Amino acid sequence: MLLQTNSTATRYAAAATEYVAVDGISYAHRRVGKSTDLPLICLQHFTGTLDNWDPQVIDGLARERQVITIDNAGIGNSGGETPDNVQDMAKTAVSIITALGITKCDLLGFSLGGFIAQTIAITHPQLFRKILLIGTAPQGTLALHSFPELVGRAFSKPPAEGYLYLFATSSEKSREKIKAAQARFMERENDRDKQTSMPAIQAQIKALTRWGTDPVTLNLGSITHPVLIVQGSSDEMMNSASSVELFKQIPNAILTFYPDSSHGSFFQYPEMFVDEANSFLDKFM
Amino acid sequence: MLLQTNSTATRYAAAATEYVAVDGISYAHRRVGKSTDLPLICLQHFTGTLDNWDPQVIDGLARERQVITIDNAGIGNSGGETPDNVQDMAKTAVSIITALGITKCDLLGFSLGGFIAQTIAITHPQLFRKILLIGTAPQGTLALHSFPELVGRAFSKPPAEGYLYLFATSSEKSREKIKAAQARFMERENDRDKQTSMPAIQAQIKALTRWGTDPVTLNLGSITHPVLIVQGSSDEMMNSASSVELFKQIPNAILTFYPDSSHGSFFQYPEMFVDEANSFLDKFM
């Protein structure tokens, strides 16, 4: 497969990995879709790299805008060290967005990426127009207190099965749809990201757990952006009910739950999600 | 404005009222959009007639299918007497659909219409493909125990203000959007429905209250159809949390909440709703 530079990439699986330097550290990212005034920046989940975005979802979003996925510090092909707290991850995300020359964008945060998105929506509100929070939770969520134990159970399984354990429900239908997403992750043959290292994973586990156990510092009621919250019916990691809490606290938010789905809700229903996200990005005020 | 028959109507505001007879009683309905194998049947809320469907919503849904709105017994220009219970309303709805020659359709139930839709999804599952439940609640919902008092408060206001009291939140933004929907209701100049009579309203009040107070008879877990549940963030009449209960009980349901909205959620966000409903009807399995 021929890799395409940012000016020509129409398929995420064929978009070249590019790099931008901040303070001497090189950060990996990929762009797909025509350059637009308001690109959509995507912030990834625990252990995930540029290769863990569903290309069907990214390509669907990129039909109408430029989509940019970024690896945070110490993840995939990005340099630097992964911090053990969301606040420092948030600072890095803002630095990368700024280094890309972006002054205004939309933001999609998935899981841990959603913690970062909540943080920078409040610390840098002027940088964002609209925000999508997928499979995520507010600070203080009780389910995250036992995040290390959940990860321990997932990591005790073979990797593909561990992913299904967290991202699918136990139903055959949900598992099959998430397996299909896993197959889509593999459409990209060349220029793949490095797997996330064990020290980075350990730092992320600490950051995720602290999101649940540290004192609540963010006032989600101060987020004035339009927000789309999407969650699966049965996400054990975040506790699906956490998304109702996000909805209640963020003044201008839409909330959608998908049926029979866990942490991988939007990869399980890629067509529905792309339609809803594009409608939200294009029309919701 | 020239009224259009069912074969030509492309705008709900211009669709002629048609009539179908069941057991010697004439039932009013309107059709818009090209004839399709799977029309979408719409069942209306408490006091509402054919004139209380938002034409922007109906026209948006009718871009891709035929939409048929029907007046139940004793409502608008339909003959017969309004029953004081949902079960009899459900029987009439099935009779009208069958008399229209329909053997399979999609179903949209709004509020009281959603009670009827839940009922006939279970009594006549083979008649329906997909179901939309808007601003509604399962049997036994506590909020409905005080439905007569809520209606009393609404009816003590001038009619337009009473509608805003139930269908909008107290925010200026929500009120303005629902006022815009009220203006759209008036786009139709000729061949309007008769206002719902006081005896019909009294029977509906009894039926709505009984939905909350009578014993629960429906097993929502037996609904296997794809279902889209839509609700406002702050619907006092149904209690918004009731939609979470619907979502938890119906196995294959999507749930969406809109922000800063009450009982008129989908009239407040017509563009978003039309996009989501069309995506659900065309793509969700």
Query: From CA B166, how far away is CA A150, in angstroms rounded?
Result: 44
Query: From CA B184, how far away is CA B130, in angstroms rounded?
Result: 27
Give residue A191's region: left, alpha or beta (phi > 0; psi -120 to 50): left
Contacts B258 to A, Cβ<8 Å: 254
When CB atoms are compared, the residue of B259, B275, B284 closest to A252 is: B259
In terms of C-beta density within 10 A (0-12 exposed, 13-18 middle, 19 or more buried), how is residue A116 classed? buried
Q: Angle formed by the axes of helices A159-167 and A172-185, to 10°?
A: 120
Confidence class for position A1, pLDDT limits 50, 70, 90: very low
ipTM: 0.95
Q: Tell me the count of A-B CB pairs closer than 8 A.
A: 60
End-to-end CA distance of chain B: 40
| Inter-chain touch B272–A258, beta carbons under 8 Å | no
When CB atoms are compared, the residue of B251, B255, B275 closest to A279 is: B275
Residue B235 contacts by C-beta under 8 Å, 6 or more apart in sequence? B135, B261, B262, B263, B265
| Inter-chain touch B272–A251, beta carbons under 8 Å | no
| Inter-chain touch B279–A280, beta carbons under 8 Å | no
In terms of C-beta density within 10 A (0-12 exposed, 13-18 middle, 19 or more buried), how is residue B241 classed? middle
| Inter-chain touch B257–A254, beta carbons under 8 Å | yes
pLDDT value at residue B94: 98
Min CA distance, B253 vs chain A (Å)?
5
A279 contact B CB<8A? yes
Beta-carbon neighbour count of residue B62 at 10 Å?
A: 25
B284 contact A CB<8A? yes
B102 contact A CB<8A? no
What mean pLDDT comes out for the span A266-277?
98
**Interface subset of B 228-267, CB within 8 angstroms of A:** 233, 244, 247, 251-260
Tell me the backbone φ, ψ of residue A278, rounded to 5 degrees. -65, -40
In order of their start, the domains of chain A are 2-283 (3.40.50.1820)
A272 contact B CB<8A? yes
Which residues partner with B256 through β-bridges?
A256, B230
**Interface subset of A 162-191, CB within 8 angstroms of B:** none
When CB atoms are compared, the residue of B233, B271, B284 closest to A283 is: B271
Residue A183 contacts by C-beta under 8 Å, 6 or more apart in sequence? none
Query: From CA A27, how far away is CA A44, in angstroms rounded?
Result: 14
**Alpha helix locations (H) across B63-197?**
86-99, 112-123, 147-155, 159-167, 172-185
* B246 half-sphere exposure, CB direction, 13 A CA radius: 33
pLDDT value at residue A3: 54
Buried b or exposed e, range A240-258, using 16+ CB within 10 angstroms: bebbbbbbebbbebbbbbb
Min CA distance, B267 vs chain A (Å)?
14
Q: Which secondary structure element, helix H or strand E, spans residue A105, and what is its range?
A: strand A105-110
Q: Which secondary structure element, helix H or strand E, spans residue A128, and what is its range?
A: strand A128-134
What mean pLDDT comes out for the span B216-234?
98
Interface test with B, best of A228, A233, A247, A278 (most B CBs within 10 A): A233
Give residue A87's region: left, alpha or beta (phi > 0; psi -120 to 50): alpha
| Inter-chain touch A254–B247, beta carbons under 8 Å | no
**Alpha helix locations (H) across chain B?**
55-61, 86-99, 112-123, 147-155, 159-167, 172-185, 198-213, 241-249, 265-268, 270-283
pLDDT value at residue A10: 85
For the segment B12-45, what is each residue's pLDDT rounded down to a tens digit?
Answer: 999 999 999 999 999 999 999 998 889 999 999 9
* B278 half-sphere exposure, CB direction, 13 A CA radius: 19
CB A109 within 8 A of CB A133: yes
What mean pLDDT comes out for the span B138-154?
97
Min CA distance, B98 vs chain A (Å)?
31
CA dihedral B90, B95, B100, B101 (to 10 degrees): 110
Q: Which amino acid is at A91?
A: K
pLDDT value at residue A7: 54
Tell me the backbone φ, ψ of residue B70, rounded to 5 degrees. -130, 145
Nearest chain A alpha carbon to B243: A257
Confidence class for position B5, pLDDT limits 50, 70, 90: low
A276 contact B CB<8A? yes
For the segment A66-115, what is each residue's pLDDT rounded down to a tens digit?
Answer: 999 999 999 999 999 999 999 999 999 999 999 999 999 999 999 999 99
CB B86 within 8 A of CB B119: yes
- Percent of chain B past pLDDT 90, that is, above it, reads 94
For the segment B50-81, what is each residue's pLDDT rounded down to a tens digit?
Answer: 999 999 999 999 998 999 999 999 999 999 99
Residue A192 contacts by C-beta under 8 Å, 6 or more apart in sequence? A51
3 state SS of B114: helix
